Amino acid sequence: MYPAALEKGDKIAVTAPSSGVEEQLHMLVHKAKENVENKGFIVKMGETVWTETKSRSAKASIRAKELTQFLEDESVKAIIPPWGGQFSMELLPMIDWNYIKTLPPKWILGYSDVSTILLAYTTITGNASAHGTNFNELSAPKWDELTSKWTDVLGCSKGQDIIQYSSGQYQSSWTKTFANPATGFYFDTETEWKSHTGQKTHEFAGRLLGGVMNTLQTLIGTPYDKVNEFTIKHAQEGVIWYLESVDWSAAEIYRCLWQMKYSGWFKKVNGVLLGRASGYSSTKDFELKDALMNVFGKEIPVIYDADIGHMPPQNILVNGAYSTVTYQDGKGTIRMQYI
C-alpha cells in the first residue's frame, strides 16, 4: 500500500530512531527545518532529535515510542529522521507491528541505518517506504537535482509514476561538507554507472527493495526478516534489489551478499542496483566485480556505482514500487510506478 501523497501544508515529523544530533550540529536541524518550511510544509520536531549518548539518541524504548506516536498521529503525513547511525535494530522488538499494520500507511524517508527500519516497515506491513535523503541534508541552501526529488516522490499518489535519472557528478569525499556544515554537497567527480559484466545496455523490472548492507545484514534470520514473504508475494513480478555499503572491503561485501543469497533474499531477483561503495578497498587481488560475479554470475544484471547511499547525490527509491531500470553507456533511468 502507498501512503497518501505529500502536499504543501502537510506536517512532517522528525524523529531519531538511531543517532540523535550533537549540540554543536543542531544548526543542521534548524536550517533544514527552515528550508523545508519554506517549501510549504509544517515541521514537527521530536525530542529524540536533540540528544546523543552512547551512539544513540535515547533508550530504545523511548525511540520506539516516539516513532510509534508519529506513525499513529493522523496530522503527520511523513517521517524523516535527521540521519542514520548504528543501532536502529534495537527498536524492532519494541514496536507493536500488529498494531502498526492497522494504521494507515505513512511515508518514512531516510537512508543509512534508517534503511533497517524501512525494510522492516515495508516487508512486515506491506506499506511502501522511501530510501533517500535524510533530514539534515536538507539544510543545504540549494538542493541538488536528485535530492530535490524527495518532494516529487513522496508527492505521488497510487496509480501514478515518476522518472529519475543518474546524476552528472557525485561527491567523492565528505571533507568539505564536514568542514562547511549546512552548505550542501561538493560534487567533484563524473558519475558513471557500470555493468559488472561490461555490457553497454541493460533493462530490468520488478519491485524495489534494499538499503545499506552494513545494517540490513543484522535482520537475517531474526523474527523481523520478512524478505522471503515479500518475494513470494511479488514472485510473478520479481524484485530489484538496491544496495550499498560503507567502509567495507570487497571481501566484506562478498560475505554479506553471499549470506543474503543463501538466506533466500535473491530468489526472485531480476536485477541489482549497487550504490557507490563508500570507503571501499580491494582484498588483495579480489575486487568488487569478483564479488558480484561470484554471487550473481552473468545471468543477473548488476549495475554498480549507481546514485544510492553515502556518496551523494542519490535517487529517491521507494520500497515496494514497481520499477523499470534502464542502463546505457554509463547512464541510468529509474521509472517507478505506484501500482
Residue-wise pLDDT for 214-244, tens only, equals 999 999 999 999 999 999 999 999 999 999 9
> CA–CA separation, 201 vs 246, rounded Å?
27
Position 313 in a domain: yes
Do 130 and 206 lie in one domain? The reply is no
Structure confidence by residue, pLDDT tens digits, 264-276: 999 999 999 999 9
Task: Region of 238 please: left (phi>0), alpha (psi -120 to 50) or beta.
Answer: left
Provide the pLDDT for residue 306: 98
Residue type, 283: T
Domain boundary among the residues 158, 179, 197 is at 158
Do 74 and 180 lie in one domain? The reply is no
Provide the pLDDT for residue 160: 96
Could you give the number of structural domains in the chain?
2
Structure confidence by residue, pLDDT tens digits, 68-120: 999 999 999 999 999 999 999 999 999 999 999 999 999 999 999 999 999 99
Q: Are 265 and 232 in contact (CB under 8 A)?
A: no
User: If DSSP codes are grouped into helix, strand and coil, which group holds residue 130?
Assistant: strand
Q: What is the average pLDDT across 157-179?
A: 96
Q: What is the average pLDDT across 294-310?
A: 97
Distance of CA 72 to the CA centre of its chain: 22
Tell me the residue range of the domain where 61 lies: 11-158
Provide the pLDDT for residue 164: 98
Do 191 and 328 lie in one domain? The reply is yes
pLDDT band at 175 (very low <50, low <70, confident <90, very high): very high
Do 281 and 180 lie in one domain? The reply is yes
Domain boundary among the residues 135, 158, 181 is at 158
- The CATH number of whichever domain residue 119 belongs to comes to 3.40.50.10740
Structure confidence by residue, pLDDT tens digits, 111-132: 999 999 999 999 999 999 999 9
Do 57 and 206 lie in one domain? The reply is no
Question: Grid cell 551523494 — which residue?
Answer: 312
Q: What is the average pLDDT across 141-149?
A: 97
Task: Region of 213 please: left (phi>0), alpha (psi -120 to 50) or beta.
Answer: alpha
Do 200 and 310 lie in one domain? The reply is yes
Do 222 and 275 lie in one domain? The reply is yes
Do 97 and 64 lie in one domain? The reply is yes
Q: What is the average pLDDT across 307-335?
A: 98
Do 90 and 65 lie in one domain? The reply is yes
Task: Region of 23 please: left (phi>0), alpha (psi -120 to 50) or beta.
Answer: alpha
Q: Quote the pTM value.
A: 0.96
Position 16 in a domain: yes
Do 44 and 136 lie in one domain? The reply is yes
Do 152 and 246 lie in one domain? The reply is no
- The CATH number of whichever domain residue 299 belongs to comes to 3.50.30.60
Provide the pLDDT for residue 150: 98
Nearest partner of 245 among 221, 272, 213, judged by Cα: 213
pLDDT band at 57 (very low <50, low <70, confident <90, very high): very high
Provide the pLDDT for residue 301: 97
Do 144 and 271 lie in one domain? The reply is no
Position 58 in a domain: yes
Provide the pLDDT for residue 271: 98
Distance of CA 19 to the CA centre of its chain: 16
Pull the grid cell for residue 173.
569525499
Q: What is the average pLDDT across 169-180?
A: 95
Strands 107-110, 129-131: pairing kind: parallel
Q: Are 134 and 112 in contact (CB under 8 A)?
A: yes
Position 211 in a domain: yes
